[in-house]
Amino acid sequence: MKTFRAYRIHEENKKIVARFEDLSLDDLSPGDVVVRVTYSDINYKDALAATGAGRILRRYPLVGGIDFAGVVESSADARFHAGDDVLVTGCALSETHDGGYAQFARVPGDWLIPLPQGLDARGAMSLGTAGFTAALAIHLMERNEQSPRGGPIVVTGASGGVGSIAIDMLAARGYEVIAVSGKAAAVEYLKSLGAARVLLREAVDYGSKPLEAAQFGGAIDSVGGKTLAWLTRTVDFRGNIASIGLVGGAQLETTVMPFILRGVNLLGINSSATPRALRLAVWQRIATDLAPRHLARIVTRTVAFADLPRAFAPLIDGSILGRTLVKID
């Protein structure tokens, strides 16, 4: 192997600059497994990193892309062999370690997940960090005794990748799902994924009391801010709220009343730093009882590697629904 193409992010004159470059394996972060990448994806975090709209990278330069799937090219880790189908989501990719926007990646074996039976590389990256985050949230909620008997689950930021997949997974598990979205045009799309009802964000009455009337059995929230505060006041007794994002703000103004009077549980979801054993268990569920039924509908764009630079803006401005898949040539 001589050189290969990679989409690398630099900091130059205090500005973020991303471009295609020809690299060799020696240019990549250290690792004991080399993977020929076949698919990646674009998450909101990827768009922030590549455009400089958010400070995601902790050192420069780095290859972008927090997810990838592909085939092992070579391995010094006895658990993996040339030809194995594998995936990586999160870990430190495109933060402190070169990521998946390249024809080859090199990572520690502990980060690699053998592709579960029933998933191929395209399917794995159709899910990516978004699908893993949604599944992790449901897994931890159910480990904390969430069930369809507890009442409807509300999903905020519903038209994004995490929200779309969460709706699909929850509906397949028998939950009544209520979607909250700021996009009126997304109502039929969300219902087609399994949402029983769709609340438009501008019509939500957030209230101001320490406890409002209980409306939901639990919640998956990717918005944060006043939306998360509203959920703490409206989730019913012993319900779980999975907090996965902060696009609506990092501040949380609430009281202890929901936690001590209703026993509401606020679960922080960190998909990037998930321990390996839990990561393996969640991916196994993604391939079985949490498998989405409408993944082809959720993937609304497939981008060629060469077109990657033009694909980030719609995620930043919120104009796209669902998931974006990247095919690495």
In a domain, 24, yes or no: yes
The domain of 220 spans 130-268
**17 strand-pairing partners:** 10
Alpha-carbon torsion, ordered 285, 290, 295, 298, to 10 deg: -110
- The backbone region for 127, taken as left when phi is positive above 0, alpha when psi lies in -120 to 50, beta otherwise, is alpha
Q: What's residue 55's pLDDT?
A: 87
Q: Are residues 37 and 87 in the same domain?
A: yes
Q: Are residues 134 and 109 in the same domain?
A: no
Q: Are residues 95 and 197 in the same domain?
A: no
Q: What's residue 2's pLDDT?
A: 84
Q: What is the pTM of this model?
A: 0.96
CA–CA distance, 149 with 37 (Å, rounded to integer) = 42
Q: Which pair of tokens denotes residue 299?
A: 């993937």
In a domain, 286, yes or no: no
What is the domain count for the chain? 2
Helix, strand counts (H, E) of the chain:
9, 16
Q: Are residues 141 and 249 in the same domain?
A: yes
Q: Are residues 214 and 308 in the same domain?
A: no
Q: Residue 94's domain is classified under what CATH number?
A: 3.90.180.10
In a domain, 91, yes or no: yes
DSSP 8-state class, residue 235:
B
Inter-CA distances, 253 with 210, 226, 227, 233, 256, Å? 10, 7, 10, 11, 10
Q: What's residue 159's pLDDT?
A: 95
CA–CA distance, 54 with 46 (Å, rounded to integer) = 9
Cα–chain-centroid distance for residue 158? 13
Q: Are residues 42 and 19 in the same domain?
A: yes
Q: Which pair of tokens denotes residue 31?
A: 């690792």
In a domain, 282, yes or no: no
Q: What's residue 99's pLDDT?
A: 98
Q: Which pLDDT tens digit goes with each residue over 245-256?
A: 998 999 999 999
Q: Which pLDDT tens digit goes with each residue over 61-75?
A: 999 999 999 999 999
**What is the arithmetic mean of pLDDT over 179-186?**
96
In a domain, 321, yes or no: yes
- Of 38, 86, 93, residue with least CA distance to 67: 93
Q: Are residues 261 and 145 in the same domain?
A: yes
Q: Are residues 246 and 301 in the same domain?
A: no
Q: What contacts 30, CB < 8 A, 6 or more positions away?
A: 106
- Burial string for 25-64 (b: 16+ CB within 10 Å, else e) reads bebbbebbbbbbbbbbbbbbbbbbbbbbeeebbeeebbbb
Q: Are residues 161 and 261 in the same domain?
A: yes
- Of 129, 48, 55, residue with least CA distance to 316: 48
Q: How confident is the model at residue 1 (pLDDT cuts 50, 70, 90)?
A: low
**90 strand-pairing partners:** none
Q: Are residues 214 and 92 in the same domain?
A: no
Q: Residue 201's domain is classified under what CATH number?
A: 3.40.50.720
In a domain, 120, yes or no: no
CA–CA distance, 287 with 285 (Å, rounded to integer) = 5
> Do 50 and 6 meet the contact criterion of CB atoms below 8 Å apart?
no
In a domain, 289, yes or no: no
Q: Are residues 159 and 214 in the same domain?
A: yes
Q: Which pLDDT tens digit goes with each residue over 22-39?
A: 999 999 999 999 999 999
Q: Are residues 215 and 259 in the same domain?
A: yes
In a domain, 124, yes or no: no
CA–CA distance, 230 with 245 (Å, rounded to integer) = 15
- Which of 227, 251, 268 corresponds to the end of one domain? 268
**What is the arithmetic mean of pLDDT over 170-180?**
98
Q: How confident is the model at residue 166 (pLDDT cuts 50, 70, 90)?
A: very high
Strand, coil or helix: 286 = helix
DSSP 8-state class, residue 93:
B
CA–CA distance, 272 with 92 (Å, rounded to integer) = 7
